[in-house]
Structure formats: structure tokens, C-alpha cells
Amino acid sequence: MNELIKLDDVSIGFGKTPIIRGIDLTLTSGQFWGVIGPNGGGKSTLLKTVIGLTEPLAGSFKIKEGLRFGYVPQHEKYDNLFPVSVEEMVTMGRYSMVPFSKKLKQEDREAVRISIEKTGITNLSNKVFRELSGGEKQKVLIAKAICGNPDVLVLDEPTSSLDLKGEAEIMSLIKDLKDELNLTVIMVSHFADTIRKYADSIILVDKDKDILLNCGIDDAVSNQHIKRYFGLQS
């Protein structure tokens, strides 16, 4: 397993206010990393720091050169005023390969079509994104994220607004894409059971206790902080 991302004594936070200090974390390839923790605990901030959207406040932060991210933010962040079609939305995911002021080529159109097909949303491609259900929106955002041939798929609470059936469908899609495209997955969730079921390794983020734990799923079961979080120990 290759080292993809390494954080050494990193502090993260909003603006200049640190949420968590002294993070040591090494993310390796081919793993499904589950990031869990209470609301407001710093999960999303950690995620944004890891993919380079937010600068760490202190410490050393290294990303493997040429590493490509596919990012699935929470769908509520998209402004419903914009009448963007599903195809247009997925096409934006391809812009990682189409720099500023350059036009899409035939191969880019083909990549959009394949991403739509892989995520099973061909029937939605002409619909308007804002008019879709929560589950459909997540599939579109996943199609968008894989359209730029990423090495790492990063998801911010992709099942938070879904029922159990919708959650199972999305998680199964993520797992299938991980295997088929040989992706590393980093997924934030506040559903501990989901993470426990799908992740290979767990990162527990909790600003109140000022901890950030990182361990494999087997070790997690015996770790007292994570056991407490999973409700396995009082």
C-alpha cells in the first residue's frame, strides 16, 4: 500500500481558530477510510484539509504528487436556483481534465457518458438536478466525482438524508466503484454503523476530547474511544 496523504502534527480549524491540534495521520492507497465523529467535531474540516480545500493552520501536510480527487460534497450545498441538468452536473466533474478556458473534447464527452452509465443514472441524464430525490442526487454527485478518473473518492456524509434502503443502495454503489476503479475511499459519516460495515479503517474525530484516532476496523472494536462511540461500552 502506497502512502497517499501524510499529516504530521497538523492543526485544523475555521479561519484562524483551531478545532483539533496535533493530528498525525497517514492515508494509504486501496483502503476504505471511514471518518466518524459527533456533529461539529471537525470531520468535514478534516476532509477538506486532506483534499487541499482548506489550508492546515499548522504542521506538515504532504500529498502524493499527481494524486487526483473525486469529491462528493453534501448535495444541500448546491444552490437550487441553478437549473443545471444531470449531464451538465456530471460534465463539471470532467473539468479536472479540462483546464481553465479549454473546451471539452470527444473523449471527455465519452467519459461523462461512461460515468453516467456506471452509476445507473442514464434515465436521469436530461433531468434537472435540483428536481431529483436525495438518493438520485447522490448518484449524480458520485458520477460527477468519478468522471475525472480520480485515485481517491472523497465523500462528505453521502447518506445523511437517505432512508435505510437509499443508504444501502448508495453504499453498495460506492463499494462496487471502489473495487471496479481501484479507488481509495475517504468517507465522512455520523452513522457509525455504516462505517463499521463498509470501512477498512476508521478515523475518529472529536474536538471536545481533542482526539483523532486512526485504526483498522478490527482494532477499532477493542479501542475504548471507538467502542464508546459505537455504543459498545458505556
Please report, as ranges, the residues that interact with other proteins according to CB under 8 A.
51-53, 69, 71, 73, 77-79, 81-85, 88, 92-93, 95-96, 98-101, 103-104, 128, 144, 148
Q: How far is the CB of 220 from other proteins (least distance, A)?
A: 29
Q: How far is the CB of 81 from other proteins (least distance, A)?
A: 6
What are the beta bridge partners of residue 202? 34, 215
Q: How far is the CB of 6 from other proteins (least distance, A)?
A: 19
Nearest residue (CB) to other proteins, 81 versus 164: 81
Nearest residue (CB) to other proteins, 43 versus 144: 144
Nearest residue (CB) to other proteins, 58 versus 98: 98
Do strands 201-206 and 211-216 pair parallel, antiparallel, or not at all (unpaired)? Answer: antiparallel
User: How is residue 130 written as a grid cell?
Assistant: 435540483
Q: How far is CA 217 from CA 24, 153, 213, 234, in A?
A: 18, 19, 12, 20
Nearest residue (CB) to other proteins, 96 versus 200: 96
Q: How far is the CB of 123 from other proteins (least distance, A)?
A: 17
Q: How far is the CB of 218 from other proteins (least distance, A)?
A: 33
Identify the three-state secondary structure at position 17.
strand
**Contact predicate 20/37, CB 8 Å:** no
The answer for 42, left when phi > 0, alpha when psi is -120 to 50, beta otherwise, is left
Do strands 32-36 and 201-206 pair parallel, antiparallel, or not at all (unpaired)? Answer: parallel
- CB-facing half-sphere around the CA of 225: CA atoms within 13 A: 17
> CA-CA distance, 79 to 73, in Å (whole number)?
13
Nearest residue (CB) to other proteins, 19 versus 51: 51
Nearest residue (CB) to other proteins, 80 versus 133: 80
User: How is residue 232 written as a grid cell?
Assistant: 459498545
Element (H, E) at 145: helix 134-146
DSSP state of 103: P
Q: How far is the CB of 9 from other proteins (least distance, A)?
A: 24
